[in-house]
Copies of this chain bind each other. A is one copy, B any other.
Amino acid sequence: MMEKYDVIVVGGGHAGCEAATAAANLGSKTLLITMDMTKYGQMSCNPAMGGIAKGQIVREIDALGGYSGILADKTTIQFRMLNKSKGPAMWSPRAQNDRFRFVEEWRNILENTDNLDLWQDAVIQLIIKDKKVTGVKTKIGVEFESNTVVLTNGTFLNGLMHIGQEKLAGGRIGEAASYNISEQLLEAGFKTGRMKTGTPVRIDGRTIDFSKLTEQKGDEGHYKFSYLPGTETKLKQRSCWITHTSAEVHEELQQGFEDSPMFDGTIQSTGPRYCPSIESKLVTFAEKEKHQLFLEPEGENTIEYYLNGFSSSLPWQVQLKGLHKISGLEKAKIFRPGYAIEYDYFDPTQLNHTLETKIIDNLFFAGQINGTTGYEEAGAQGIMAGINAHLKSAGNNDTFVLKRNEAYIGVLIDDLVTKGVDEPYRMFTSRAEFRILLRQDNADIRLTEKSYKLGLASLERLNLLQEKTRLIQEIIDYAKDFSVKPRFVNQLLTEKGTSELKQGVKLFDLILRPQISIFDLIEVITPFKTFLGRVPEVRKTEIIEGAEIVIKYEGYINREKLLAEKLDKFENINIENKFNYNELKSISTEARQKLDKIKPKTIGQAKRISGVSPSDINVLLVLLGR
């Protein structure tokens, strides 16, 4: 009765929306089924995108032709480039977003995507024939046929929420959970487990005493997520506000520990170690006298604030008492208390690198269902699953997999499918061996052409990329060629605290100095400024900064590139019984211990052990004479 689809995506969260649009944009007849069409890409927790390592992922999704970056831009109510004072590998874009607009923009995009049909309903069963998925059944009794199915159920599978001793079934507060699917997959042979995550109280901004808080404004700058022009936010920019817990607050909260589902054994599942509840922080960091908290506005106009850092499943009375001891929040009224949620996930080692399951053909998993946490991690898996479901449905045996040295997305998926997870997985820069390669400024250079070849990234993106790489190269060539006379720059150099020139040098050598940026030099070297006139105004920062990073960090970048290639090349070299790791002084202690314990058979296996870095591996290769 219904037409047969190439790809069905179950769930309209961050993973599902990216998956569905990717598949449809590649030409697959796609259906996105979700329980509530007013909640596409709902931010279940904090109203923000990006941040350290996560910001890089958003830019990668964008470079591939996904939408998370565009939406994050359009709905920005505060933007900051984090870690700007550190090396460019650490620069991480982060936006505070209007959560209502975010949902609206997703809906807008979905509605305007060709080949994409939308359906509001809950999937309650997969149709599986001979270990191959062929469709889904829904709660209202509809059967849809499809070549492939992508499951992106998020925190909804048998979701159970906790607030103190109260338990509420549901996938998110106010929303129903999803049943039957886990049970069916368990029966089909999948391993499943429970994880937990949590969220803090939402506060009525009219009851906050801002005079006691520290204001945190956004950057004035011109950064954004998307490489495309025209995605700039038009929304009013808003500040975040900083406050702290205190001994008094901690005391109040501790009163509730005996009724805490975290501590009385009710919640057995693992929560995110790096985004813990306030009660976990009080236990784990018992010596800390205060914890920083951020009050983040939930939208351009709303009075609702999110209290970042105060996630909790303590009884609501306890949360409220603790809250009222916080400076500035003495009289705070809330819209609802924080809560924890437990949900089913599936051990991601049951997946191939394409995110297709090993047990059921043509079935893909993406997002929180794989044991990750975070919108960005979910969106990244979504676009990859969408691409691979499309390829699988097209039946030409192609797959699309990113390597660890190509993208954080590559690191993410490789970590998931090879190492599995024992707590909700979120991305950190430390998870990437080749951090200096995986920067936020060059995600397009790393990924857009690949995606264009696939048919996903648009010609516009390719043109922008080519313009950018050409201009960067021109700047570098110019800098290598152009000689600077001392009298033009010595004043600047002195001001910036670096030694004066005695004689002319190449512009390139000046740019190499850490204290000096191209933007300084433009002001004093007129021909350079004139030359840079060729860079389109809207992309000036992006392109000049791109050139500067390449110039300044060329050494590091090339070293990492070579190392990455070397490791790839020697992937299959046998190292079984070749080393007594305990005696290797030139590798890190952690690597020594892990290698000794795991005793990997090949270089490839060794390099995938977490805690073993590429330079540790390089030591082994050198010892082997490579």
Which A residues lie at the B interface, using CB under 8 A?
1, 35-39, 100, 104, 107-108, 111-112, 117-121, 139-142, 163-166, 168, 170, 173-176, 202, 204, 301-304, 315-317, 320, 333-337, 339
Contact A163 B141 (CB under 8 A): yes
Contact A168 B142 (CB under 8 A): no
Contact B140 A337 (CB under 8 A): yes
Q: For residue A176, which residues in chain B have a CB less than 8 angstroms away from its CB?
A: 170, 174-176
Q: For residue A100, which residues in chain B have a CB less than 8 angstroms away from its CB?
A: 38, 104
Indicate which residue in B107, B120, B301, B333 contacts A174 across the interface (CB closer than 8 Å): B120
A24 vs chain B, min Cβ distance (A) = 12
Q: For residue A165, which residues in chain B have a CB less than 8 angstroms away from its CB?
A: 141
Contact A335 B163 (CB under 8 A): no
Contact A117 B1 (CB under 8 A): no
Q: For residue A302, which residues in chain B have a CB less than 8 angstroms away from its CB?
A: 107-108, 111
Contact A1 B320 (CB under 8 A): yes
Complex: how many Å from CA A139 to CA B173? 11
Indicate which residue in B170, B204, B316 contacts A141 across the interface (CB closer than 8 Å): B316
Contact B119 A139 (CB under 8 A): no
A156 vs chain B, min Cβ distance (A) = 12
Q: For residue A316, which residues in chain B have a CB less than 8 angstroms away from its CB?
A: 140-142
Complex: how many Å from CA A434 to CA B175? 46
Contact B111 A317 (CB under 8 A): no
- Chain B residue, CB-CB nearest to A100: B104
Indicate which residue in B111, B140, B174 contacts A166 across the interface (CB closer than 8 Å): B140
Complex: how many Å from CA A121 to CA B337? 10
Indicate which residue in B174, B303, B320 contacts A35 across the interface (CB closer than 8 Å): B174
Contact B333 A117 (CB under 8 A): yes
- Chain B residue, CB-CB nearest to A107: B302
A510 vs chain B, min Cβ distance (A) = 51
For the complex with contacts A112-B303, A118-B204, 4 further pairs of A-B residues with Cβ separation under 8 Å are A140-B163, A141-B163, A141-B165, A142-B316
Contact A336 B1 (CB under 8 A): no
15 contacts between A and B (CB under 8 A): A36-B174, A37-B174, A107-B302, A111-B302, A111-B303, A119-B334, A120-B202, A139-B166, A139-B168, A140-B163, A140-B316, A140-B339, A141-B163, A141-B166, A142-B316
Complex: how many Å from CA A301 to CA B315? 43
Complex: how many Å from CA A104 to CA B298? 13
- Chain B residue, CB-CB nearest to A31: B333
Contact A335 B119 (CB under 8 A): yes
Complex: how many Å from CA A111 to CA B303? 7
Q: For residue A118, which residues in chain B have a CB less than 8 angstroms away from its CB?
A: 204, 335
Q: For residue A37, which residues in chain B have a CB less than 8 angstroms away from its CB?
A: 174, 335
Complex: how many Å from CA A410 to CA B13? 46
Contact B119 A301 (CB under 8 A): no
Indicate which residue in B39, B120, B141 contacts A173 across the interface (CB closer than 8 Å): B120
Q: For residue A320, which residues in chain B have a CB less than 8 angstroms away from its CB?
A: 1
- Chain B residue, CB-CB nearest to A320: B1
Q: For residue A315, which residues in chain B have a CB less than 8 angstroms away from its CB?
A: 141
A3 vs chain B, min Cβ distance (A) = 9
- Chain B residue, CB-CB nearest to A111: B303
A618 vs chain B, min Cβ distance (A) = 52
Known: A35-B174, A303-B111, A317-B1. A141 touches B164 (CB 8 A): yes
The 4 closest A-B pairs by CB, nearest first: A36-B174, A141-B166, A120-B336, A111-B303
Contact A335 B120 (CB under 8 A): yes
Known: A100-B104, A317-B1, A320-B1. A140 touches B168 (CB 8 A): yes
Q: For residue A333, which residues in chain B have a CB less than 8 angstroms away from its CB?
A: 117
Complex: how many Å from CA A1 to CA B256? 15
A290 vs chain B, min Cβ distance (A) = 25
A94 vs chain B, min Cβ distance (A) = 24
Q: For residue A38, which residues in chain B have a CB less than 8 angstroms away from its CB?
A: 38-39, 100
Complex: how many Å from CA A624 to CA B36? 63
A39 vs chain B, min Cβ distance (A) = 7
- Chain B residue, CB-CB nearest to A1: B317
- Chain B residue, CB-CB nearest to A34: B174
Q: For residue A301, which residues in chain B have a CB less than 8 angstroms away from its CB?
A: 108
Complex: how many Å from CA A335 to CA B302? 30
Complex: how many Å from CA A301 to CA B320? 41
Q: For residue A164, which residues in chain B have a CB less than 8 angstroms away from its CB?
A: 141
A606 vs chain B, min Cβ distance (A) = 49
Q: For residue A112, which residues in chain B have a CB less than 8 angstroms away from its CB?
A: 303
Indicate which residue in B107, B119, B304 contacts A336 across the interface (CB closer than 8 Å): B119
A287 vs chain B, min Cβ distance (A) = 31
Complex: how many Å from CA A320 to CA B142? 12
Q: For residue A163, which residues in chain B have a CB less than 8 angstroms away from its CB?
A: 140-141
Complex: how many Å from CA A174 to CA B139? 10
Interface centre among A141, A204, A301 (most CB of B within 10 A): A141
A31 vs chain B, min Cβ distance (A) = 10
Complex: how many Å from CA A170 to CA B335? 23
Complex: how many Å from CA A333 to CA B1? 12
Complex: how many Å from CA A119 to CA B173? 12
Q: For residue A175, which residues in chain B have a CB less than 8 angstroms away from its CB?
A: 36, 176
A325 vs chain B, min Cβ distance (A) = 14
Complex: how many Å from CA A1 to CA B1? 57
Q: For residue A35, which residues in chain B have a CB less than 8 angstroms away from its CB?
A: 174
Q: For residue A108, which residues in chain B have a CB less than 8 angstroms away from its CB?
A: 301-302
Complex: how many Å from CA A175 to CA B139? 13
Complex: how many Å from CA A577 to CA B538? 90
A259 vs chain B, min Cβ distance (A) = 11
A313 vs chain B, min Cβ distance (A) = 11
Q: For residue A119, which residues in chain B have a CB less than 8 angstroms away from its CB?
A: 334-336
Complex: how many Å from CA A37 to CA B315? 21
